[in-house]
Chains A and B, each alone.
Chain A
């Protein structure tokens, strides 16, 4: 089974703090993703990475950055947290190139509250 883990289930930070959300996967998948999920807005893609040190902006990258130094780890960084970044953050992975494996597997999510 694919396992995607996120460093925290719940996190509370103050406005202006630097926040790191970590995601680790154990299936050697090339692609990794960060989403945020808000009521009524569904899943919105923040950033994704298709290889080590490679990253691409998603639909809402503003206020976020990412880091992919190792294949198994994809970090989301909030340089200066703001209250409008309070949300559920979901990490996902995707395997390319094999039949019936273009599926994204999600982590359990991190609920971040910025006060």
Chain B
């Protein structure tokens, strides 16, 4: 299961640079993964998803990579913009379950 931490991991990048946000998941039976973006004062918004039979999936400026061997998920954001500043969560769906398990989140800050 996920660990509970006192501090939210943070990542600062320069505007225009690429950013990579990482997530470790714990259950090898997880078969579906999602990345969410949460801006200040708003609910989480779906960004991109990936099923366990894939290693990579691309969207608009975002790419999700899945490494099932080490149970690791990453979100790559290309050419970051000020509007990308937010908290990013990964979530895993354990096969057969009807709910998601969420990671702690990473706060991404874009510096001008």
Contact = CB atoms under 8 A, between A and B. Distances in A.
Interface of A: 4, 31, 33, 39-43, 45, 48, 50, 58, 90, 92, 94, 96, 100, 102-109
A107 B104 contact: no
Nearest to B42: A108
Main secondary structure of the interface of B (DSSP, over half): loop
Interface of B: 2, 4-8, 32, 34, 36, 41-46, 49, 51, 89, 91, 93, 98-100, 102-105
A31 B97 CA distance: 11
A100 B105 CA distance: 23
Contacts of B99: 31, 33, 45, 48, 58, 94
B104 A42 contact: yes
A105 B103 CA distance: 16
Contacts of B104: 42
B92 to A, nearest CB: 11
Given A33-B99, A100-B49, A106 B5 contact: no
A36 to B, nearest CB: 12
